Chains A and B, each alone.
Chain A
Amino acid sequence: MLSHIRSLALVFRHLFRKNITIQYPEEKARLSPRYRGRIILSRDPDGGERCVGCQLCAVVCPVDCIALQAAEDENGRRFPEFFRINFSRCIYCGLCEDACPTYAIQLTPDVEMAEYDRPNLVYEKEDLLISGEGKYPGYNYYKVAGLSIGGKDKGEAENESPPINPKDLMP
């Protein structure tokens, strides 16, 4: 009996509490920088595409919403010929971001991507590519990888010593 009266009083006091409702279109919830929302493709500090078309994201994607085709330019840099994400299938699990060896594919704290037509949810490479570096500023895959591309030979990458000749006896 007493507990009933106490619960009545408690609920009555809640009338005057601050409401936790966020009135969405006018005020927006704060999403953390690590929130898993709309997927983007980021670029090098130099402006080149980070994506090397390795297919790891497409392979790891549990709903198979990523499709891409790798190509190679005259310098030997690999890039995706097309890169397509079907956001009507995407479950925003973030596995593609984990799998990406070059930090190219990243999830952003943006959730406002509603469309009236389902086909509009299929994003092409032009829609996905951003001009910035996303969450990993300063990272340039080809600058740290040992691969030789046009304008950068083996041994010229950061923290890389020049290649040695295994047939040479000199230390």
Chain B
Amino acid sequence: MSPTFQNILIAALILFCMLNMAALMIWIERRLLALMQDRLGPNRAGPFGLLVILADMIKIFTKEDWIPPFSDKVVFVLAPAIIMATTLLSFAVIPFAPGIQVIDLNIGLLYVLAMSSIGIYSIVLAGWASNSKYSLLGGLRMSAQMFSYEVFMGLSLLGVVAMAGTFNLREIVDSQQRLWFVVPQFLGFVIFMIAGLAETHRLPADMPEAESELIAGYHAEYSGMKFGMFFVGEYVGVILISSLMVVLFFGGWHGPFLPPLVWFALKLGAFLFFFILCRAAMPRPRYDQFMALGWKVLLPLSLLNVLVTGAIILANT
């Protein structure tokens, strides 16, 4: 088998798995949320209610795909494609197991951060092109939230980068063979987790869509599969942040006895579970409180983290 063909196969396989997992997340999230609220969740269609995914897909594909006449049509159509494309492209550098990686970039981490920055455009443009006030408010909140949390999302990872000495995600995983980075970089991990919540705008940090204030925020005017793209993009983003946490802080595929891919999947599953737990347990903070937390607490803490990590590494060399 030629290496080019193998690469294409791996890329297609990862794409397939990620999209399917995003779809499966709909069911997992609904079931888990229900169990946490002492309910049962969807359990009628098919085994364990799994066919509810199929029903959701049929529904979302056959719904009227309405483009508002007052919107900026080109941008309106383009916006949901951007978030899907950027989040899926980010998976190109994630090392799932030795050899199962689309491209081994030596600036893999920077690439992921850049992609998530481009992903912001999707929401900002969606909010702007919808040409309605709630969408615009959602888009504005999103841009402010993302820009401010992007700052120390990168800063919180600098400790990991400094300790591993590389931006290459595979090498970062390899350098955690003896000790997971979550132990020396616990502060960085916590900050990255909160920033990740804000980046994926999941429930404790879902100010841009905030049902109770903005109805649906930036995707209020979207319907049909365009709305579905935002939906899938959000779930793929959750999987992306979870796999980043696994790769950067929890030793990637490393683990005893089980094969590497299984270890990765187990750790990934644990983080996906944690995301859903956060959604079930936490209330949405007020918008200004959330921004204040970012700039006044998390940013200084991440700077401190970089400083102390650097000092310790310097002292040891």
Contacts and interface: CB of A to CB of B under 8 A. Distances in A.
A, B bound? yes
Interface of A: 4, 7-8, 10-12, 14-15, 17-21, 23
Contacts of B144: none
A20 B38 contact: yes
B217 to A, nearest CB: 24
A29 B281 CA distance: 29
B39 interface: yes
B281 A15 contact: no
Interface in B25-61: 32, 35-40
Contact of B39 (A8, A10, A19): A19
B195 to A, nearest CB: 16
**Interface residues of B, dominant DSSP:** helix
A47 B100 CA distance: 82
Contact of A23 (B37, B40, B281): B40
Contacts of B36: 11-12, 14-15
B282 interface: yes
Contact of A18 (B38, B278, B281, B282): B38
B38 A14 contact: yes
Contacts of B32: 15
A119 B269 CA distance: 53
Contacts of A15: 32, 35-36
Contacts of B12: none
Contact of A11 (B39, B40, B280): B280
Interface residues of B, number: 12
A8 B278 contact: yes
A4 B194 CA distance: 13
B277 interface: yes
Interface in B2-39: 32, 35-39
A23 B34 CA distance: 14
A21 B281 CA distance: 20
Contact of A14 (B37, B278, B282): B37
A119 to B, nearest CB: 30
Given A14-B38, A15-B36, A23-B40, 19 more contacts: A4-B281, A8-B277, A8-B281, A11-B36, A11-B281, A12-B36, A12-B277, A12-B281, A14-B37, A15-B32, A15-B35, A17-B38, A18-B38, A19-B39, A19-B40, A20-B38, A20-B39, A21-B38, A21-B39
Given A15-B35, A19-B35, A7 B40 contact: no
Nearest to A8: B281
A18 B36 CA distance: 10
A21 B40 CA distance: 6
Contact of A7 (B35, B38, B39, B282): B282
21 contacts: A4-B282, A7-B281, A8-B277, A8-B278, A8-B281, A8-B282, A10-B281, A11-B36, A11-B280, A11-B281, A12-B36, A14-B37, A14-B38, A15-B35, A17-B38, A18-B38, A19-B38, A19-B39, A20-B38, A21-B38, A21-B40
